[in-house]
Amino acid sequence: MSKAPQDIIIKPIITEKSSYDAAVGKYTFEVAKTATKTDVKNAVEKLFEVKVVAVNTVNVDGKVKRQRYVEGVTPSWKKAVVTIDMEAKESSYLAKGGKETKSAKKYKTAIEEFGIGQ
């Protein structure tokens, strides 16, 4: 049973550090706790039309919070840092008849939804 990409990527995490990382092609997302690295890669490629190079995930434990006399725990969640391919080089290959043909890459080099486009 595969999930829809919208179910895997919950929301982007926008902090000062993630903004600096986005300039070099690393984007941070909160993802579903059951999502694997392959699920995250496929979801990001499908949603944002980019080429994913690497995915790093980490399980973030909830923090212990206290209100007056009662202690509670915030929910735990999963974070994924996705590195995309920033190089949009044209590739060339030999076609039929020995002609050299150039093909442009069909994916983007940035995720504009973050507001950090090139």
Query: Is the pTM higher than 0.85?
Result: no
CB atoms near residue 12 (< 10 Å): 14
- Residue 52 domain boundaries: 5-86
Q: Is residue 79 part of a domain?
A: yes
Q: Is residue 81 part of a domain?
A: yes
Task: Report the greatest alpha carbon distance in the chain.
Answer: 80
Among the listed residues 38, 26, 9, the one whose alpha carbon sits nearest the alpha carbon of residue 85:
26
C-alpha angle 12-9-86 in degrees, rounded to nearest 5: 65
Phi/psi for 55 (5° steps) reads -135, 125
Domain harbouring 36, CATH code:
3.30.70.330
Residue 82, pLDDT score: 97
Q: What is the dihedral of CA 42, 45, 48, 53, to 10 degrees?
A: 120
Residue 25, pLDDT score: 92
Q: What is the mean pLDDT, run by run of 10 residues, along the chain of 118 residues?
A: 86 93 94 96 93 96 96 97 83 73 72 65
Q: Is residue 32 part of a domain?
A: yes
| Number of domains into which the chain is organized | 1
Q: Is residue 97 part of a domain?
A: no
Q: Is residue 14 part of a domain?
A: yes
Residue 118, pLDDT score: 46
Q: Is residue 113 part of a domain?
A: no
Residue 46, pLDDT score: 93
Q: Is residue 117 part of a domain?
A: no
Q: Is residue 98 part of a domain?
A: no
Both tokens of residue 65? Answer: 């919070």
